[in-house]
């Protein structure tokens, strides 16, 4: 009995419940004849009521099956082995289990481990037993639920009220997912960071200027302690995301928005807006590839040509420039919103006094739209410092405190990727530090977002 077959059977059972419930209610309707209101709910609501009672318990059992069965079977297989057949470590166990699973599925022709052959038989028996157990439980519960629901139907049974109460419950649960996600992010980051701060003091992490997260492979290695001062990472993040990228994105994005809202003919706007949307929709990994392959060598050649001898092929400038271009559409659309929210009377008044359009824009529109623009820029900064792929591919991993844009620097996001993509033990300070970095990133972007959204909202209300 496979999981999918049981699922299909359960769904069929639910459909059958719906049909039976509806038929019974149609019977009530026929009995009542022309008397209005004799049957409280519509026939299909009776049907849905029976189907819900049938599906809910059965699906719950199937969910439990999907979640638990693998672990239960593995435990039984491991328990069936003779003493010392498999090494004690988790890695050896999971390798053995993977082999057994491969044998059962027929991926491997012959067993590598001597015990795997026997274990595969145990696996098969155990998996079949659990499948029978859970499968029959699901079907029985589904049938019982349907029967019980069906037996409760009468002409004045309030099926609609009950079904709607269930719908409301589903709606509330769905909206709770967002809270659960936020809670999950905060909890997992806090928990792992707490473990990290037991190994490394928060003061050293937040204010130290040495970052070299290599921890020892063996206890007796030299220089194995690792240094977790994250200031160079914070500086690199700010340097690339908030300085270089913004130097590109703010003027270009703002001027683009001004041109599109104030000067451009409708035809130009019609072409330019989708182009900017495409620019915003290009995946970041494409920007990263472009930065690493085309922009970075060009930047290095430029640095060499102006006499900087040790220019690196991974430079802050290349990553920042490309990130700035990536942010242009975002800044432009935020500035666009802010500019169009300025009341038309202000613009007309200024033009009527004889100011040129550019004077109107610089002296009336921009000051009036400034809070909205600033809010948009803050959101853009928050997006830039959380951006990962461009810096991973183009900025490098050297943690340096330097203001030289041709030097390579590293960022919080690039380090998180570097720390977590190797094969690591999961409780070393090295991997845990990624969560501490994630926590800092989350808090900073959260603060930026909350503040910027509040500014933008307040500004919109002022002109509404």
Partner 1 sequence: MTEAVQTAAPTLWSSPAMQARIRRRYRSERLFKGLGLASLALACGFLLFLLASVILSGWPSFRQTQILVPVSIDAGRLGVTAAEAKADPERLRRANFQGVVQDAVDKSVGDAVPLVSEGAWLALREAVEADPALIGTHKDMWLIASSNLDQLAKGRIDLAAPEGDRPVNDQEIAAWKQLEADGKLRTAFNRTFLTAADSVDPELAGVWGALKGSFLTLVVTLLISFPVGVLAAIYLEEFAPKTRWTDVIEVSINNLAAVPSIIFGLLGLAVFLNTMNMPRSAPVVGGLTLALMTLPVIVIASRAALKAVPPSIRDAALGIGASPVQVVFHHVLPLALPGMLTGTILGMARALGETAPLLMIGMRAFLTSVPQGLAQPATVLPVQIFIWSDNVSRGFVEKTSGAILVLMAFLLAINSLAIYLRNRFEVRW
Using rule CB under 8 A, residue 51 touches partner 1: no
Closest C-alpha to 11, from 128, 136, 134, 139? 139
Q: What token pair was written down for 157?
A: 């049974």
- Rounded Cα gap, residues 235 and 229, in angstroms: 12
Stretch that binds partner 1, among 8-16, 223-231, 363-371, 379-387 (CB under 8 A): 379-387
Length of the chain: 464
Q: Which of 357, 398, 401, 402 binds partner 1 (CB under 8 A)?
A: 357
Q: How far is the CB of 5 from partner 1 (least distance, A)?
A: 16
C-alpha 79/C-alpha 70 separation (Å) is 14
The span of 15-23, 218-226, 278-286, 297-305 binding partner 1 (CB under 8 A) equals 278-286
CB count within 10 Å of CB 304 equals 13
Among 373, 409, 416, 456, interactor with partner 1 by CB under 8 A: 416
Q: Where are the alpha helices (DSSP H) in 217-356?
A: 231-237, 245-258, 266-281, 284-290, 296-305, 316-341, 344-352
Does the protein bind partner 1 through residue 152 (CB under 8 A)?
Answer: no
* Min separation Cβ 187 and partner 1, Å: 9
Residue 370 engages partner 1 in binding (rule: CB under 8 A): no
Q: Is 441 in the site for partner 1 (CB under 8 A)?
A: yes
C-alpha dihedral (5, 11, 16, 22), degrees to nearest 10: -170
60 or 180, CB closer to partner 1?
180
Nearer to partner 1, 58 or 432 (CB): 432
Range 153-172, binding partner 1 (CB under 8 A): 160, 164, 167-168, 170-172
Judged by CB under 8 A, the chain residues 207 through 246 that form the site for partner 1 are none
In whole angstroms, the minimum distance from the beta carbon of 163 to partner 1 comes to: 8
Beta carbon of residue 322, minimum distance to partner 1 (angstroms, whole number): 9
Residue 104 and residue 116: Cα distance in Å, rounded?
Answer: 10
The nearer residue to partner 1, 15 or 252, going by C-beta atoms, is 252
Q: 313-332: which residues touch partner 1 (CB under 8 A)?
A: 325, 328-329, 332
Does the protein bind partner 1 through residue 47 (CB under 8 A)? no
Element holding 392 (H helix, E strand):
helix 389-394
Least distance to partner 1, CB of residue 6, Å = 17
Does residue 62 interact with partner 1 by CB under 8 A?
no
DSSP letter for 421, please: S
286 near partner 1 (CB under 8 A): yes
Task: Give the x/- contact pattern for partner 1 in 169-198, rule: CB under 8 A.
Answer: -xxx-xxxxxx-xx-xx--xx-xx------
By C-beta, is 145 or 438 nearer to partner 1? 438
6, 122, 393, 456: which one binds partner 1 (CB under 8 A): 393
Beta carbon nearer to partner 1, 167 or 353: 167
400-439: string of b/e by CB count within 10 Å (b at 16+)? Answer: beeebbbbbbbbbbbbbbebeeeeeeeebbbbbbbbbbbb
C-alpha distances out from residue 141 to 24, 445, 461, Å: 21, 48, 55
CA–CA gap between residue 435 and residue 108 (Å, rounded): 39
Any residues with CB less than 8 A from the CB of 108 and at least 6 apart, and which? 99, 102
Quick one: CA torsion of 385, 391, 397, 398, rounded to 10 degrees? Answer: -70
Residue at token pair 């996001």: 413
Which member of 137, 243, 272, 429 binds partner 1 (CB under 8 A)? 272
Residue closer to partner 1 (CB basis): 64 or 177: 177
Enumerate residues 6+ apart whose C-beta is below 8 A from 101. Answer: 123
Contacting partner 1 (CB under 8 A), which of 56, 69, 72, 252?
A: 252
Give the number of residues in contact with partner 1, rule: CB under 8 A. 87
- Rounded distance between C-alpha atoms, residue 399 and residue 463, angstroms: 46
* Contacts of partner 1 in 27-46 (CB under 8 A): none
Q: Cα–chain-centroid distance for residue 174?
A: 17
382 binds partner 1 (CB under 8 A): yes
Q: Binding to partner 1 by residue 359, rule CB under 8 A?
A: yes
Token reading at 422: 């190797």
Q: Shortest gap between Cβ of 294 and partner 1 (angstroms)?
A: 6
**Sole window of 115-123, 205-213, 255-263, 338-346 interacting with partner 1 (rule: CB under 8 A):** 255-263
Could you say whether residue 102 binds partner 1 (CB under 8 A)? no
């Amino acid at each position: 009995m496979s999981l999918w077959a049981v699922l299909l059977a359960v769904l069929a059972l639910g459909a059958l419940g719906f049909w039976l419930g509806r038929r019974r209610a149609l019977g009530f309707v026929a009995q009542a004849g022309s008397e209005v209101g004799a049957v409280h709910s519509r026939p299909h609501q009776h049907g849905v009521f029976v189907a819900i009672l049938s599906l809910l318990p059965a699906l719950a059992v199937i969910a439990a099956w999907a979640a638990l069965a693998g672990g239960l079977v593995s435990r039984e297989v491991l328990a069936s082995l003779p003493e010392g057949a498999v090494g004690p470590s988790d890695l050896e166990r999971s390798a053995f289990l993977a082999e057994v699973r491969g044998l059962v599925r027929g991926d491997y022709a012959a067993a590598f481990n001597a015990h795997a052959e026997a274990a595969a038989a145990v696996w098969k028996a155990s998996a079949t037993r659990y499948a029978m157990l859970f499968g029959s439980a699901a079907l029985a519960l589904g049938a019982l639920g349907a029967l019980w629901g069906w037996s409760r139907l009468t002409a004045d049974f309030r099926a609609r009220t009950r079904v709607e109460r269930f719908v409301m419950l589903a709606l509330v649960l769905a909206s709770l997912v967002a809270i659960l996600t936020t809670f999950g992010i905060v909890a997992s980051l806090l928990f792992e960071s707490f473990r990290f701060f037991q190994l490394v003091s928060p003061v050293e992490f937040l204010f130290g200027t040495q970052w070299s997260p290599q921890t020892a492979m063996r206890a007796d290695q030299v220089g194995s302690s690792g240094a977790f001062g994250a200031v160079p990472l914070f500086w690199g993040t700010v340097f690339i995301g908030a300085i270089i990228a913004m130097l590109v994105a703010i003027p270009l994005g703002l001027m683009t928005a001004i041109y599109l809202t104030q000067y451009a003919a409708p035809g130009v706007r019609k072409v330019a807006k989708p182009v900017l949307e495409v620019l915003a929709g290009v995946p970041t990994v494409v920007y990263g590839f472009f930065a690493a392959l085309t922009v970075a060598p060009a930047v290095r050649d430029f640095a060499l040509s102006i006499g900087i001898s040790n220019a690196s092929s991974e430079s802050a400038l290349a990553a920042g420039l490309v990130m700035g271009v990536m942010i242009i559409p975002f800044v432009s659309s935020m500035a666009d919103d802010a500019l169009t929210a300025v009341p038309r009377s202000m613009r007309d008044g200024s033009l009527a006094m004889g100011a040129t359009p550019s004077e109107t824009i610089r002296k009336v529109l921009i000051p009036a739209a400034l809070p909205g623009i600033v809010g948009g820029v803050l959101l853009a900064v928050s997006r830039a410092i959380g951006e990962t792929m461009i810096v991973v591919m183009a900025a490098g991993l050297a943690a340096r405190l330097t203001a030289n844009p041709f030097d390579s620097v590293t960022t919080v996001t690039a380090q998180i990727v570097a720390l977590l993509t190797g094969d690591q033990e999961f409780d070393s300070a090295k991997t845990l530090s990624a969560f501490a970095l994630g926590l800092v990133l989350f808090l900073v972007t959260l603060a930026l977002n909350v503040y910027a959204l509040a500014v933008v909202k307040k500004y919109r209300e002022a002109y509404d």
